[in-house]
Amino acid sequence: MDKHNLGVNTICTHVGEVEDTQFKGGVSPIFLASSYAFMDVNVKRYPRYFNTPNQDHLCRKIAALEQAESAMIFGSGMAAISTTLLAFLKAGDHIVLQNDIYGGTRNFIETQCDNYSIEYTFTKDLSLEDFDSCIKSNTKIIYIETPSNPLLKLVDIEAVSNLAKSKGVLTVIDNTFATPINQQPITLGIDIVIHSATKYFGGHSDICAGAVAASQQHIDAIWQLGINLGGNLSDFTVWMLERSMKTLALRVKAQQRNAKRLAKFLQAHSSIENVNYPGLKSHPNYNLAKRQMNGFGAMLSFEFKSHINVKGFLSSLELIKPSMSLAGVESTMLLPAETSHALLTSEERRNQGITNRLIRFSLGIECKKDLINDIEQAIAKQIL
């Protein structure tokens, strides 16, 4: 059997299992030791060295899903992002970032880069020309996130990675929204792929974790800084994450079926101004989405017309939870202006097109008719 060419559900289920050699149990045992032997061993293990048995094995599953040589797991998505960026940026370097990236990443850049004498530029839009014009002689990294949060805009991954290669610049992508089920950026030329594993990898809104996948050489560089910053994930949570990831492909596919159906329902609704979903033909990047993604994902956003009381709508929902975070098996909605993008100034929000009437919708696995009924009843109560 060719173990290098497994299907995605098989990778999710089997790759990276820890074998229970002692009792022959059918699932990975948890190794919680924070103290391992140093004599007569091949690897000197320690949780903060990211190399306990559970960490080591789960990394293989993540690397296989992303078609990467290697991977690392972190205590949060932000630990993965900050450790990766600081591993490659030194004083005097410059980084180009896509304009509408995750609010926490933007906050990290804007509050920390000055302290390390690292220069940064945010693109104005997502065109290749704009990325090109931001590159300077000291540019070290181009950082993208596609589809973006919360407007679901797409960047042409292959075009950006080709541009970066031609200038000797490293590329980093936040692949959280797409997941490797829908998008494998390394196959499109990207160097380093990052995930907030808090989202689809965990999938049940009960884990906070992060992951990075890349070549062994790049992972080694991230590891060198990682052991100093100490952002590893506890082995109990690593084990929970492995358990969750067995159903990653099943969940994402069920969630994006719901997303496509709900996007069409919302688009046809008289109280809704517009819907952002890459799987709609009206989406400006629909063709790009078809080219670089295997599926359109399970996140969408929509804007209410002014005759709807938006906060009243959220409070009237009976099934869909208005809550922070995303990607769980349960559907959730939030107001980006008050949560994920609250740290931005209102001018930054306006520049990005994030209004107070915009709702981000993370689709779960519920029956679509129940989601539609819930939205209908909540809208009916809030027509001003």
Q: Rule CB under 6 A: say whether 199 interacts with ligand PLP.
A: yes
Position 99 contacts ligand PLP (CB under 6 A): no
Q: Which residue has the tokens 């208005």?
A: 322
- Residue among 85, 106, 95 nearest 225 (CA): 85
Strands of the chain, DSSP E: 70-74, 94-97, 119-122, 139-145, 170-174, 192-196, 210-214, 272-276, 299-304, 321-322, 332-334, 358-362
Task: Map residues 139-158 to x or -, x wherever contact with ligand PLP holds by CB under 6 A.
Answer: ------x---x---------
Kindly give the pairing relationship between strand 170-174 and strand 119-122.
Answer: unpaired
In the complex, least distance from residue 78 CB atom to ligand PLP, rounded to whole angstroms = 4
Q: What are phi and psi of 96, to 5 degrees?
A: -105, 130
Check if the beta carbon of residue 254 is closer than 8 Å to that of residue 365. yes
Q: Is 48 a catalytic residue?
A: yes
Q: Is 277 one of the catalytic residues?
A: no
CB-based burial of residue 269 (10 Å sphere; 0-12 exposed, 13-18 middle, 19+ buried)? middle
Binding mask 101-140 for ligand PLP (x = CB under 6 A): -x-xx-----------------------------------
Contact between 341 and ligand PLP by CB under 6 A: the answer reads: no
Give backbone dihedrals phi and psi of 210, rounded to 5 degrees, phi first: -140, 165
The single residue of 174, 191, 251, 349 carrying the catalytic annotation is 174
Cβ-based neighbours of 236, under 8 Å, separated by 6 or more:
30, 32
Q: Which among 70-78, 156-164, 179-187, 359-367 is the span making contact with ligand PLP, rule CB under 6 A?
A: 70-78
Part of the chain binding ligand PLP (CB under 6 A), chosen from 59-67, 74-82, 132-140, 293-301: 74-82
196 in contact with ligand PLP (CB under 6 A)? yes
198 binds ligand PLP (CB under 6 A): yes
Site for ligand PLP in 209-248 (CB under 6 A): 210
- Which parts of this chain interact with ligand PLP (CB under 6 A)? 76-78, 102, 104-105, 145, 149, 174, 176-177, 196, 198-199, 208, 210
